[in-house]
Structure 1
Amino acid sequence: MTLCSGASRDQAESLAGTAATARTWLLLEQPGPWGSKALTGSRLDPVLGEHLEAAAALGVRAALIRRPGRTGAGGAARRVLLAHTAPGDSWVRTASTDDPRELLDLDLAALAGGDHGGFGAAHTAGPVALVCTNGRRDRCCAVLGRPLAGELAAAGHDTWETTHIGGHRFSPTMLTLPHGYAWGRMSAGTAGHVLAELARGRTVVDGCRGRSCWQRPEQAAELAVRQFTAEADVDALEVIGTTAVDAAVGSTTAALPTPGWLVTVARRDSRRHWEVTVAEGVSLPASPASCGAAALPQSRMAVLAVRPLLAAGTR
C-alpha cells in the first residue's frame, strides 16, 4: 500500500492552515493498544470515552497519550495533561489520577475559556511534544510517527505518543504545548529544532501547520504574517478579526474563489496590524486524505495577499 503521506509530500501539498482546531487540549495517559476511534475503542471506560469525545463541541479536544515504547501498566496512576493555547494565556497543567473517571467532573466550558480551576500543578519543564502514532487510525502514523517519538524521547525532549491530532497525510505530525502549534513532515532534526526554539520563546514557519486556537483561515493568515515580517516571538501575534467574503460581491473580492476571508492579524504589544486575504482552494492532483482512502482533491488555505494596515488612532 502506498502511504498517503508520500503522495502529499510528492505534490508539495501546503501545510499552512491544516491544524486541528481547539483552544484547550485534554490528554489522558492510556497504556496498551488504541483503536481507530481511540476514545471509545481503547479499553477506556466507555462513559468517560463518550464524554471526552463530546467535549470537542465545547472547544476542548481530548486525546489519549502514552510514553514512547509503550511502557506503563494498566493499573498504575495515569498522567493527565491539560493545556490552553491562546496567545498570552497559554499554559499546561499536569496531574495524576488512579481513577480517570474523575475527569467527568471537570467544567469543560470553563476549561475551553482558559479557566483551569486549579487543576493539578503547572508544568514548567519546557515544551511538550505530542507525536501521532495511532496506526489503527492511519498506517503513516505508526510507520513514521513511532520512530520520531522514540528519537525525540531519546534526545531528552518531553515526548508523548498520542492518538489522532488530524492530518495523517502530513505524517509524521507533532503538536507542541502549551502554544498549540501543529507540525507536519517532521524529522528528528527538524522537530528537535522546533522544540529548542519554543523553549526560547520562539517559533518557526517551516513545517508549521498552524496554531490550534484559531480556525483554518486564521492559522494560514498568522503564518503568512510571520513569513512577511520574519516575526519569531511565539506569542507576538493574535487574530483580532475575520470576515467572510463572497467572490461575487464587491470589486475588492472579485478575484477571490468562494469561500474567502479577510483576516486581521495584530501584534499584541503595539498597533501594528495586517489584513490577510485567504481563500479556500484545492490541492491537485487528487490524493488520499489517509491510507487506503480514495484519491480526492484536498482542501487547502491559499493566502492571496498580506497588507499592512495603520491602526485607528495612529498618525
Structure 2
Amino acid sequence: MTRRNSCGHCPGSHSGDRPCLASATAKARGWLLIEHPGPWPERVEQGPPGPAAITEAVRAARAAGVRPQLIRRPGRRRGIPPVQVYVGYSHGERVWLEGRELADPAELADLDLAAVAAGTPPKFGEPVADPLLLVCTHGKHNACCAQHGAPLARFLSERFAPFVWETTHVGGDRFAANLVCLPHGVYYGALDRDEAVRAVEAYLRGEVLLDRLRGRAGYPEPAQAAEHFVREHTGVRGVTAVTVESVSGTSPYHAVVVVGDRCYRIVVERVAQTDPCGRGCQENLETYVVRDLTLLNEAALV
C-alpha cells in the first residue's frame, strides 16, 4: 500500500522532480474574478456564503464559457461589499484586463459575459495595466493548496503587492503551490519561494521561465508541450514570442510553431511517467517528450 502524505499525495509530490509541463487548464480564455473573503465552497458553482448575486454571476460565467474564480487578499478578510471584480481575456496576443469595485454585487448582472468569452472588453470597468498574480489556496478543494499555496501567497504579497491574490481552484492540485499570471494566463506549478519570485520577476519583464512552467491557459496540452520544447530549443522567452500555428494527429502529435521569421515542425508524444512520486507510486500520470524538431525554411510560412 502506498503511503500518503497529509495532502493526500504520494511522498515527494512537492519535491520539484515531477514534470509539470503542458498541464495548464486548456479551457480558460475568458476570466471573471470576484473578491470574496470566504469560506469558499468545495466548488465555486456551489455558491459561497453571502450575496446570491455572486453565486448567480459564477454560474452565468460558467454557462458563457468564462472561467470564474473567487479571490481575496492574502491575510486580509474584508467583508462584502465593496467587491473588487476583474474580467479579462488571456488567449493570443490581444490580452486584457478590466477592474471595477462594486458597491453592490448585484451590479454583476450588468456584465456582458458573452463579450468576455469572445475576447471583447465589455467596458464593465477601467483597463488594468498591472498584472494579477493568483495563488491557489483553495484548501476545501484540496488540502495541498492551503498547505503550500497560502504561505506562498503571503510571501509573494510582501514583495509584489498589490498584484497578489489568493484564489479558488485553478486546476492541477498535485502541482501545488500553483501560480497563475494574468492577463496572459501563464501557469506555474510546484513552486517554492525562490522559484516563485523568479517566475514573477520574469513575468514582469514580459518573459516566461521554463523551470516549473505548466503552460499557458486556453491551449490544448499538445500545443503547450510544443511551445515549451521550441522555447527550450531556441532560448526565446518572450510571453507572446512563440506561436503554435497548428497541432494535428493523436499521440504522437505534429505541430507547427513560429518564432519570429523561423518556422519549426515538432513531434511530441504523451508518455507515462516512471515512478512520478518515487518508488511504489500508484498515480498514473503522464507527460510529454520530443520525438522530432525540425527547422523549416521561410517558404513553409506561405
TM-score (norm 2): 0.87
**Equivalence map 1:204-283=2 (5 Å):** 204-245=209-250, 259-267=251-259, 270-283=260-273
Asked whether the equivalents of residues 53 and 105 of structure 2 are also in contact (C-alpha less than 8 Å), the reply is no
- Report the counterpart of residue 304 of structure 1 in structure 2: 291
- Report the counterpart of residue 198 of structure 2 in structure 1: 193
SS in 1 for 2:85: strand
* Cα distance in structure 2, aligned partners of 1:233 and 1:84: 18
Asked whether the equivalents of residues 40 and 46 of structure 1 are also in contact (C-alpha less than 8 Å), the reply is no
Identity %: 33
- Report the counterpart of residue 145 of structure 2 in structure 1: 141
* Cα distance in structure 1, aligned partners of 2:223 and 2:256: 9
* Cα distance in structure 2, aligned partners of 1:311 and 1:151: 46
* Cα distance in structure 2, aligned partners of 1:307 and 1:57: 41
Cα gap change, 1:299 to 1:58, in 2 (>3 Å): farther
- Report the counterpart of residue 91 of structure 1 in structure 2: 96
Shift of 1:278: 2.0
Shift of 1:313: 6.5
* Cα distance in structure 2, aligned partners of 1:205 and 1:121: 32
Per-residue CA distance 1:50-86 (angstroms, 9 max, x = gap): 653463464421110000014211x321111112112
Asked if 1:33 corresponds to 2:39, the answer is yes
Q: Which has the higher strand share?
A: 1
Cα gap change, 1:135 to 1:273, in 2 (>3 Å): same
**Equivalence map 1:120-159=2 (5 Å):** 120-125=125-130, 127-157=131-161, 158-159=163-164
SS in 2 for 1:36: coil
* Cα distance in structure 2, aligned partners of 1:239 and 1:57: 28
Structure 1: gaps (5+ residues):
246-258, 288-293
Asked whether the equivalents of residues 23 and 112 of structure 1 are also in contact (C-alpha less than 8 Å), the reply is yes
Asked whether the equivalents of residues 240 and 265 of structure 1 are also in contact (C-alpha less than 8 Å), the reply is yes
TM-score (norm 1): 0.84
* Cα distance in structure 1, aligned partners of 2:98 and 2:234: 32
- AA of the residue aligned to 2:272: V
- Report the counterpart of residue 186 of structure 2 in structure 1: 181
Per-residue CA distance 1:198-251 (angstroms, 9 max, x = gap): 112122111100000211111111111111100011111122111124xxxxxx
Per-residue CA distance 1:23-58 (angstroms, 9 max, x = gap): 122111011211211332421555753653463464
Asked whether the equivalents of residues 85 and 91 of structure 1 are also in contact (C-alpha less than 8 Å), the reply is yes
* Cα distance in structure 2, aligned partners of 1:300 and 1:56: 28
Asked whether the equivalents of residues 271 and 310 of structure 1 are also in contact (C-alpha less than 8 Å), the reply is no
Asked if 1:63 corresponds to 2:53, the answer is no
Cα gap change, 1:38 to 1:307, in 2 (>3 Å): same
Per-residue CA distance 1:151-200 (angstroms, 9 max, x = gap): 01111331000000011111111000111100011122221121112112
Alignment: residue pair count: 293
Q: More deviation in 35-44 or 213-222?
A: 35-44
Shift of 1:6: 4.5
RMSD over aligned CA atoms reads 2.5
